[in-house]
């Protein structure tokens, strides 16, 4: 009986170690709002914030006006107002409204147009403002 208890105990330690390493893992360009530690209360969640990658020409933008047909007028971080096109990847999954903070990629051949690739949620926007990204 004691041998089984030791095996179960070692399995639970390994599982806790795997959970801890997964929660501390971050993709490139993402910052965690909260870090979940092994002794933290169960109500904490990990919320990730995707940051614009300058090497991919990504920048912040604000949705100003809904134009219809998946087009939005966007005021970009560099001060230029562009016509944004919602990428097919997020077209059906994410609803974009006026005033939302977005990540956009300006087109190479037409500077007055851009692709919208990401929309921030409310807690993510608060985190960006607290940390002076906006």
In this prediction, residue 27 carries a pLDDT of 52
Confidence of residue 5 (pLDDT cuts 50, 70, 90): very low
**Is pLDDT above 90 for 104?**
yes
DSSP 3-state of 19: helix
Instruction: Give per-residue pLDDT as tens, 12-53.
Output: 434 444 344 344 444 555 555 555 555 555 555 566 889 999
Span 107-130, pLDDT tens digits: 999 999 999 999 999 999 999 999
Q: Which residues pair with 30 in a beta bridge?
A: 50
pLDDT band for position 74 (cuts 50, 70, 90): very high
* Domain 51-130, classified CATH 2.40.50.140, yes or no: yes
- pLDDT of amino acid 84: 94
DSSP class of residue 54?
Answer: G
Task: Output the pLDDT for position 56.
Answer: 92
pLDDT for the residue numbered 112? 94
- Give the pLDDT mean for 86-97: 87
H or E, element range at 72: strand 71-76
> Which residues are CB-neighbours of 3 under 8 A, at least 6 positions away?
none
Q: Residue 91's pLDDT band (boundaries 50, 70, 90)?
A: confident
Tokens of 45: 């969640």
Tell me, what's the pLDDT at 23? 44
Give domain limits for the chain: 2-48, 51-130
């Amino acid at each position: 009986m004691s041998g089984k208890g030791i095996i179960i105990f070692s399995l639970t330690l390994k599982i806790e170690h795997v959970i801890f390493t997964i929660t501390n893992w971050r993709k490139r360009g993402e910052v965690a709002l909260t870090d979940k530690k092994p002794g933290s209360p169960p109500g904490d969640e990990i919320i990730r914030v995707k940051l614009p990658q300058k090497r991919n020409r990504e920048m912040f933008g604000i949705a100003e006006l809904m134009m219809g047909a998946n087009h939005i007028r966007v005021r970009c971080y560099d001060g230029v107002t562009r016509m944004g096109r919602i990428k097919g990847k997020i077209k059906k999954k994410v609803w974009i409204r006026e005033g939302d903070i977005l990540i956009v990629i300006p087109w190479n051949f037409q500077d007055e147009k851009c692709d919208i690739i990401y929309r921030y949620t409310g807690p993510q926007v608060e985190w960006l403002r607290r940390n002076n990204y906006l």
